[in-house]
């Protein structure tokens, strides 16, 4: 298991971590299997989406902002209910196949850590399951 440290600089931000997940796969010695990447936080999630055009993820963040506004009639008193909801919509984890010690992603796909309550220091855990 590996830990990826992520420092975010904005309240809502996406950080591509594909290279760091691949590093964890390479160091694991696993040739065939699956890489499971999980957020260790209730106000940050993960997703796989297009990495060729940064406008795609900007559109995702802006759309989530419209769907789940920061201010609302929320019961949670900490003022970050929207971040919890957005993280739930994105999901806690992603699972990516591993073949020949490489992540199996489409040409345009990347793995993103999605921050909704930053800026903060964050962690994602990577578990590689498979055989050498």
109: CATH:
2.60.120.460
Range of the domain at 89: 2-131
Say how many domains are in the chain.
1
Phi first, then psi, for residue 46 (nearest 5°) are -135, 150
Query: In the prediction, which pLDDT does 7 show?
Result: 98
One digit per residue, the tens of pLDDT, for the chain of length 132 reads 999 999 999 999 999 999 999 999 999 999 999 999 999 999 999 999 999 999 999 999 999 999 999 999 999 989 999 999 999 999 999 999 999 999 999 999 999 999 999 999 999 999 999 987
Structure tokens at 98: 């591993």
Q: Shortest CA distance to 114 belongs to which of 100, 106, 105, 124?
A: 124
Query: In the prediction, which pLDDT does 131 show?
Result: 83
Query: In the prediction, which pLDDT does 132 show?
Result: 78
Query: In the prediction, which pLDDT does 111 show?
Result: 98
Round to whole Å and give the CA distance between 38 and 92. Answer: 6
3-class secondary structure, 105: coil
Query: In the prediction, which pLDDT does 33 show?
Result: 98
DSSP string, 74-87: ---TTS-HHHHHHH
Round to whole Å and give the CA distance between 2 and 52. Answer: 26
């Amino acid at each position: 298991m590996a830990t990826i440290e992520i420092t975010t600089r904005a309240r809502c931000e996406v950080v591509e971590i594909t290279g760091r997940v691949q590093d964890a796969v390479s160091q694991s010695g696993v040739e065939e299997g699956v890489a499971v990447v999980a957020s260790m936080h209730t106000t940050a999630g993960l997703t796989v989406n297009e990495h060729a055009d940064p406008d795609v993820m900007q559109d995702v963040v802006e759309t989530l902002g419209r769907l789940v506004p920061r201010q609302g009639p929320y019961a949670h008193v900490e003022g970050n209910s929207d971040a919890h909801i957005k993280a739930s919509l994105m999901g806690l984890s992603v699972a990516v196949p591993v073949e020949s010690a490489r992540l199996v992603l489409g040409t345009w796909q990347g793995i993103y850590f999605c921050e909704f309550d930053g800026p903060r220091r964050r962690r994602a855990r990577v578990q590689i399951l498979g055989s050498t």
